Structure 1
Amino acid sequence: MPAKPKWAQLADLIREQIASGELAPGDKLPSTAQLCRAHDVSAGVVNHAMIVLKTEGLVEGVHGLGVFVAERAEG
């Protein structure tokens, strides 16, 4: 089976950090540049991962401020 695309691997990692509580609701994610350096990926990879996580409702972008973990309703 082919390896997962890098954007999917990054999305999985962030998803796991949110699920484990390492990233809590309201926490700011690292910047695109920081994620690029930390995971040795391009900005396009980071952007694709963010789009997927936003679509899933896990993160939300605030224009001019960054991307934050979405507040989740428990239940």
Structure 2
Amino acid sequence: MPVKPKWEQLADHIREQIESGKLRPGDKLPSTMQLKDQHGVSTTVVRQAILVLQTQGWVQGVHGLGVFVAER
């Protein structure tokens, strides 16, 4: 089985936290820098993961405030 790209692994991790209820609708995700440091990945990896989650409707970005778990 091929290894998933790091951005996909991070997106899966955040999605699992949302599905499990650890992150709830309205909760703010850690900042890009915090996610980068926590997961040992680059800023590009974090941004790609967040972009995918936004496209899928899991999270929404609020300019100047951060990224929040979306209502589903």
Per the TM superposition, whether the score is higher than 0.5 is yes
Deviation at 1:71, TM superposition (A): 1.2
TM-superposition CA deviations, 1:12-69 (whole Å, max 9, x none): 0000000000000000000000000000000000000001000000000000000000
Gaps of 5+ in 1: none
The 5 A counterparts of 1:53-64 are 53-64=53-64
TM-score, length basis structure 2:
0.98
Structure 2 residue runs without a partner (length 5+): none
**Higher Rg:** 1
CA RMSD of superposed structures (Å):
0.5
Question: Aligned ranges for residues 1-75 of structure 1 at < 5 Å?
Answer: 1-72=1-72
> In 2, Cα distance between the equivalents of 1:67 and 1:28?
6
* Equivalent position amino acid for 1:41 in 2: V
Identity of aligned residues (%): 71
**Number of aligned residue pairs:** 72
